Structure 1
Amino acid sequence: MSQLRNVLWTHQGLSLPHNVTKETLDVLPGFQIRNDDVVVASYPKTGTNWLIEIVVKILRASGKTKESVDTMTVGAMELRRPTASQPGYVKLAELLSPRLLITHLPIQFAPKGISKPQNKVKVLVPMRNPKDTAVSMFHFSKEIVPMLGGNAYDLRWEDFVQDYSAGIVPYGDFCDHVSGWWQMRDDPHFLFLKYEDMKKLGRQEGTPLFKVDTTGILGRQEGTPLFKVDTTGILGRQEGTPLLKADTTGILGRQEGTSLLKADTTEILGRQEGTPLLKADTTGTLGRQDLLSAVKTIVTFLEVDLDESTVKGIAEASTFNNMKPDLDNAAAAERRHIARKGIVGDWKNYFSTEESEAFDAWCEKKLGGAGLTFDFE
């Protein structure tokens, strides 16, 4: 049993930290949402603060606000920060528009103006694969538990991962939480963004979709060129002869008339028989999401006008390495513990084979029919 349980309580079957009170949950459904509110609704540790940083940068660049993240946000609206005297929603009521609201509540406990938004309300929902989310929550809990009166040194991974699967962690069962919000995916007030998609690298403009597989073309040694310069008579060449000629000294033993260029399918340098000479450039294939594409999508969703240069600047400023110093020096103490590695696949360093297989079965059972899938590496 994880020591995290010591700082949790249960409300209608939902595990919550003690700084989310019943009194708050009773009044939140009727919390007044404004027409120009922007909302981030998320399960904890799914990229919430990354998305918040991007949204605030967009709002600032478009002239919608001059506020910083620290002055525009009050944390999740349902909880009282360890350093605050009141829950977030009280402070939100005092802020000028446009406001940026944050909630980690499942959809059934969220304010009605968020779960069923009207007019121009925008709700962004970040999502992340449950294994990396679990690892991130484990480390975050070790930092936050002492602020909530618990002992972080008693928090062991083996215990935590079992409680995570059972939903005995802040904000309850991951699968129930994300599937609840996911049911709103066809509502135009909502935008869903996957952490793993935003971490993918997009191709730079002008780079090819395919690149030459240089690991074993035509039987060459690794690193040798596909073509070589004819140095036997440059400048003395007969008119019409090429400056570059193919190395025809015995490529693949080809028969007269066969193609000069063909894939060496003999499994040279690890290439499997039948694999193509040209392979996909998997650093950013067409149609795949990446951070720049995500920023463009968010700009469009928020209905603001920004030029291409500004959008690219926001994407660059929002990379993990560029954003981490801001989080590490945030005014709110709990935000300083948010940024750790910011990678996909860190779960492999924590999950045993048995734990991983159990997680897979759990997710398949819970999400198999929801049409919601995740990338795990």
Structure 2
Amino acid sequence: MPLHEYKGIVYPFFVSRENLEAMPNFRMRDDDIVIASYPKTGTNWILEMVSRVLQAAGRSEMTSEDRAFAKLEFHHPELPQTTHVLLEDSPSLRVILTHLGPDAAPPGIAHPQGNVKVIVIMRNPKDVAVSYYHFSLDIMRNYFYFGRIAAYFVTWDRFFNLFLSGEVVFGDFFDHVLSWWEKRHDPHFLFLKYEDVQRNPTDAVKTVMEFLEVDLDDVTIRRIAEESSFHNMKETLGDSHLKHRTVMARKGVVGDWKNYFTPEQSRAFDAKYREKLEGTGLEFEFEGSIL
């Protein structure tokens, strides 16, 4: 995939320097909802949940499919303009997605005011690495002419080393999540963990509902939890008429990293995990245990 570097972070060609330089001027609205995430941590899962909560509350008729192009910094090949330009003309209520960290995101997202709400979804980094690896292969197979031999060039071992060194698209996982984690005491932010959403989707729906200040009955909450389960969301994505959505979901399990990490890789990863996260209060679950 054609890549470029901007302020020390690697980006794909569809997140251009021009797009990134436009971020400081993006204007937020008082009713905006933002989903901020590192890639492959559950962005579309939370988008599905948020969209269904807003629909059930009568605040928006838009589905997750309608909002599929809402990644703020992107210029999707299917669209004539960049997302941030399209969002300027989009009707409220906007649900905005971003993989940018606070330093690169618009000030109105990094330092929200008024009723702006930011949901940050995070996932254990070992499973993120595995999911990101497969997603990278799928993108090359679907969008680039050398896709048939992509696996030859992008082996798991090579991708692991790039991920561990922070040289993948959107930069170092640990730096990214920690930069958002610093906002945890700001009431404009809600932090969710992928593993918690998977374990108890009903509680996740309730948490999102309360954060968005809507009131739904228990029957509706349970229905949304079922409709936005990973299994149902994967079917929704697989049936999408938008090509990039069809490769977004794979397994959705916790602990798949054990099928890929060698003992040496796991030890190297654990060392970086402790170096970066020790003392921060941020912990992740790795199949029933916290490192």
Q: Does 1:53 align with 2:84?
A: no
Cα deviation, residue 291, structure 1: 1.1
Preserved contact between residue 70 and residue 87 of structure 2 (Cα < 8 Å) = no
Task: Give the TM-score of the pair, scaled to structure 2.
Answer: 0.94
1:14 alignment counterpart: 9
Maintained 8 Å contact 2:70/2:95:
no
Pairing of 1:1-377 with structure 2 (within 5 A): 7-146=2-141, 147=143, 151=147, 152-153=150-151, 154-200=153-199, 290-377=200-287
CA contact (8 A) 1:135 1:347 kept: yes
Give the CA deviation at 1:341. 0.5
In 1: Cα distance, 2:95 partner to 2:275 partner? 34
Say whether the 8 Å CA contact 1:15–1:167 is kept in structure 2: no
Q: Displacement, 1:331?
A: 2.9
- Name which one, 1 or 2, has greater alpha-carbon Rg: 1
Distance in 2, Cα, partners of 1:92 & 1:197: 31
Report deviation, 1:38: 0.5
Q: What are the Cα deviations for residues 102-158 of structure 1, in whole angstroms up to 9, with x where unaligned?
A: 000111000000000001101000000000000000001111135267642321100
Deviation, 1:367, is 1.3
Counterpart secondary structure, 2:160: helix
Paired with 1:156 and 1:7, the residues of 2 have a C-alpha distance of 18
- Could you tell me how far 1:371 is from its partner in structure 2? 1.1
Q: What letter is aligned with 1:55?
A: V
Output one character per residue of 1:75-124: Cα deviation in whole Å (capped at 9) or x when no partner: 41101123223221111111110001000011100000000000110100
Q: Per-residue displacement from partner, 1:244-282 (whole Å, max 9, x unpaired)?
A: xxxxxxxxxxxxxxxxxxxxxxxxxxxxxxxxxxxxxxx
How many residues are aligned here? Answer: 283
Query: Which residue is equivalent to 1:209?
Result: none
- Give 1:238's aligned residue: none
Secondary structure at the residue paired with 1:343? coil
Q: Greater helix percent: which structure? A: 2
The equivalent of 1:279 in structure 2 is: none
Task: Give the conservation status (yes or no) of the 8 Å contact 1:75–1:81.
Answer: no
Partner amino acid for 1:316? Answer: E
Deviation at 1:296, TM superposition (A): 0.3
- For 2:81 and 2:163, the matched residues in 1 are separated by 28
Unaligned 5+ segments in structure 1 are: 1-5, 201-289
- Distance of aligned partners of 1:19 and 1:149 in 2 relative to their CA distance in 1, 3 Å threshold: farther
Cα deviation for residue 345 of structure 1 reads: 0.2
Q: Secondary structure at the match of 1:107?
A: coil
Distance 2:176 2:146 in 1: 25
The percent identity for this pair of structures is 47
Structure 2 Cα separation of the partners of residues 89 and 330 of structure 1 = 22
Indicate conservation of the 8 Å contact 1:7/1:150, yes or no. no
CA contact (8 A) 1:11 1:22 kept: yes
Tell me the C-alpha RMSD between the 2 structures: 1.3
| Residues 74 and 91, structure 1, Cα contact 8 Å, conserved in 2 | no
TM-score under structure 1 length normalisation: 0.73
Tell me if structure 1 keeps the 8 A contact 2:230–2:252. Answer: yes
Contact 1:8 1:169 in 2 (8 A): no
CA distance in 1: counterparts of 2:2 and 2:166, whole angstroms: 14
Structure 1 residues 82 and 148: alpha-carbon distance in aligned structure 2, compared to 1, 3 A threshold: farther
Q: Distance in 2 between matches of 1:149 and 1:14?
A: 25
Aligned pair in 2 of structure 1 residues 337, 73: CA closer, same or farther (>3 Å)? closer
How much does 1:332 deviate? 2.0
Counterpart-to-counterpart distance in 2, 1:187 and 1:304: 20
Deviations 1:202-243, CA, capped at 9 Å, x for gaps: xxxxxxxxxxxxxxxxxxxxxxxxxxxxxxxxxxxxxxxxxx
**1: distance between equivalents of 2:182 and 2:240?**
34
SS at match of 2:103: helix
